[in-house]
């Protein structure tokens, strides 16, 4: 990773989340790039544990003896920027950087519509197939004759984000993690050449509500660890397991937050506050972007890195940006440092304002993610 204002610019190749699914597909014999060298397999299960940051796992691995045992042979990757679920799902599912797939934040501007879209909920969002038009890795694997199954909560099936970032194959719904492991095992055993994707989001939810340093987070990690051990021990001999994440997390006490609603200098010239508390994206009134950048730089000081859109793009924060996605990025892009955050109580829901654990910025705690693998025992 290169450095920008003391912050690390994420990788979007072999060192990043974008390389995971293409490399697993290549290990299964699917034609295409393989940024990460993985041993061959006939079948694979890829698990994405929402919020399982590398630094969190390393520090709190006492709750996860199985996952901790995989750390010595693991890879430390970067999730991308902003380090948020919607963006990372696009990066994971397409193998492209955010600027390529166009899912550029938690809330981003719909160019020409003068309104924000929440790319996680996709409420009143644009056509996901037009918003993200590129083929996913799942679709490419399916074309190559691999049986693809995606396992998650039922409401994900056909949702905007799933359609944009993770389309391809068939969807199997299950609620508990134990049930998703059972469904994944059945799916991987059902075909001689198969790719199964399992998503689990409760670790992230617990971290948001209770904080990632809480005992509740440790308990949830322990439960995840037990089920993933069972999954690994139950796989066919020719199947590999890969476990990764979409981002990490930091706890941001409310006294370390600024509220745009009560900060005249921060509100001036800003039409929409997008992004999220750790990575605000500011959509400015006509001609106001330079003044907004100056005002936010002065007010935040060392608490955040404040860049014009052009600076952020030139620095490679989003990877290569396709032209039609450029205006989805804020005129001013902010990456908060330490544990600081910026909220806007005029716009943010009370539930969001109440959260303790947050992510989105460029700190190691948020960007660094693990790639933990259990290779196939044989491939004959």
**How many domains does the chain contain in total?**
2
From first to last of its 380 residues, the chain has per-residue pLDDT tens of 455 666 678 989 888 999 999 999 999 999 999 999 999 999 999 999 999 999 999 999 999 999 999 999 999 999 999 999 999 999 999 999 999 999 999 999 999 999 999 999 999 999 999 999 999 999 999 999 999 999 999 999 999 999 999 999 999 999 999 999 999 999 999 999 999 999 999 999 999 999 999 999 999 999 999 999 999 999 999 999 999 999 999 999 999 999 999 999 999 999 999 999 999 999 999 999 999 999 999 999 999 999 999 999 999 999 999 999 999 999 999 999 999 999 999 998 898 899 999 999 999 999 999 999 999 998 76
- Write out the chain in H/E/C secondary structure: CEEECCEEECCCCCCEHHHHHHHHHHHCCCCCCCCCCCCCCCEEEEEEECCCCHHHHHHCHHHCHHHHHHHHHCEEEECCCCCCHHHHHHHHHHCCCHHHHCCCCCEEEECCCCEEEECCCCCCCCCHHHHCCCCCHHHHHHHCCCEEEEEECHHHCCCHHHHHHCCCCEEEECCCHHHHHHHHHHHHHCCCCEEEEEEECHHHHHHHHHCCCCHHHHHHHHHHHHHHHHHHHHCCCCEEEEEECCCCCEECCHHHEEEHHHCHHHHCCEEEEEEECCEEEEEECCCCHHHHHHHHHHHHHHHEEEEEHHHHHHCCCCCCCCHHHHHHCCCEEEEECCCCEEECCCCCCHHHHHCCEECCCCCHHHHEEEEEEECCCCCC
Q: Is 379 within a domain?
A: no
pLDDT computed for residue 1 by the predictor: 46
On whether both 339 and 369 belong to a single domain, the answer is no
On whether both 125 and 145 belong to a single domain, the answer is yes
Q: Is 54 within a domain?
A: yes
Residue pLDDT, tens place only, 204-242: 999 999 999 999 999 999 999 999 999 999 999 999 999
Q: Is 380 within a domain?
A: no
On whether both 65 and 165 belong to a single domain, the answer is yes
- The parent domain of residue 21 ranges over 2-250+363-374
On whether both 202 and 282 belong to a single domain, the answer is no
On whether both 328 and 190 belong to a single domain, the answer is no
On whether both 205 and 337 belong to a single domain, the answer is no
On whether both 94 and 137 belong to a single domain, the answer is yes
On whether both 82 and 173 belong to a single domain, the answer is yes
Residue pLDDT, tens place only, 130-174: 999 999 999 999 999 999 999 999 999 999 999 999 999 999 999
On whether both 85 and 217 belong to a single domain, the answer is yes
On whether both 167 and 306 belong to a single domain, the answer is no
CATH number for the domain including 260? Answer: 3.30.1360.180
On whether both 136 and 192 belong to a single domain, the answer is yes
Model pTM? 0.96
């Amino acid at each position: 990773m290169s450095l920008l204002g003391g912050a690390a610019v994420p990788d979007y190749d072999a060192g990043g989340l974008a390389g995971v699914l293409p490399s697993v597909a290549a290990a299964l014999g699917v034609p295409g790039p393989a940024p990460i060298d993985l041993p061959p397999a006939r079948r694979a299960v890829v698990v994405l544990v929402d919020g399982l940051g590398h630094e969190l796992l390393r520090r709190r691995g006492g709750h996860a003896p199985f996952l901790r045992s995989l750390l010595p042979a693991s890879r430390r990757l970067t999730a991308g920027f902003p380090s948020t679920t919607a963006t990372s799902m696009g990066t994971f599912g397409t193998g492209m950087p955010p600027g390529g797939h166009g899912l550029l934040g938690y809330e981003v501007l719909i160019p020409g519509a003068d309104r924000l879209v929440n790319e996680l909920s996709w409420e009143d969002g644009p056509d996901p197939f037009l918003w993200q038009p590129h083929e996913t890795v799942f679709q490419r694997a399916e074309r190559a004759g691999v049986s693809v199954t995606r396992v998650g909560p039922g409401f994900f099936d056909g949702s905007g984000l799933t359609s944009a970032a993770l389309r391809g194959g068939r969807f199997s719904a299950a609620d508990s993690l134990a049930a998703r492991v059972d469904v994944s095992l059945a799916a991987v055993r059902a075909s001689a050449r198969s790719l199964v994707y399992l998503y689990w989001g409760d670790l992230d939810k617990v971290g948001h509500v209770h904080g990632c340093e809480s005992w509740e987070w440790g308990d949830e990690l322990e439960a995840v660890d037990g089920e993933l051990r069972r999954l690994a021990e139950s796989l066919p001999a020719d199947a590999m397991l890969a476990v990764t994440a979409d981002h990490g997390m930091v706890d941001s006490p409310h006294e370390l937050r600024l509220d745009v609603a009560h900060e005249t200098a921060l509100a001036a010239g800003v039409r929409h506050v997008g992004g999220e508390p750790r990575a605000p994206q500011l959509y400015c009134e006509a001609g106001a972007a330079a003044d907004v950048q100056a005002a936010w730089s002065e007010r935040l000081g060392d608490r955040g890195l404040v860049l014009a859109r052009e600076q952020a793009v030139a620095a490679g924060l989003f990877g290569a940006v396709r032209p039609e996605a450029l205006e989805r990025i804020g005129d001013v892009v902010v990456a908060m440092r330490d544990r600081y955050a910026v909220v806007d109580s005029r716009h943010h829901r009370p539930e969001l304002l109440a959260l303790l654990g947050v992510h989105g910025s460029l700190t190691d705690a948020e960007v660094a993610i693990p790639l933990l693998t259990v290779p196939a025992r044989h491939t004959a």
